[in-house]
Structure 1
């Protein structure tokens, strides 16, 4: 299930983005500050390059690249946004 980032409370979105950029394997030698990495991911989210995915079976939330989302799911999401 794709979740529009605009539906999240600002504090919730901030926590999600901070969690994402501090997960193991997301550093990749990047020396940017936490705030810079969060801002970079936020810009990707605002441009629609990444999307928030909620996994109802596990209750987990993740971020994924738009091109990784199945076409039918992405189409339904975009139709709901218009």
Structure 2
């Protein structure tokens, strides 16, 4: 488990991967449309991209996050 940011106060969570069938997924937390945190289990790429985005204030496209067929890099603008 890798965690970046603080999810306290989130109003939306988006899951990437299958949290019920697989031991590899990431939960992305948003508050009022702003990306605030990630919890990643066996998802190092999602964790690293999220950590960079949180540090730099980079935007995240919540519509691309849940689709594993889209490269995670394309969700971060």
Q: Which of structures 1 and 2 has the bigger CA Rg? A: 1
Structure number with higher helix proportion: 1
- Greater RCO, CA 8 A, separation 6+: 1
TM-score above 0.5? no
Q: Under a length normalisation based on structure 2, what TM-score does the superposition of the two structures give?
A: 0.29
Structure number with higher strand proportion: 2
Q: Under a length normalisation based on structure 1, what TM-score does the superposition of the two structures give?
A: 0.28
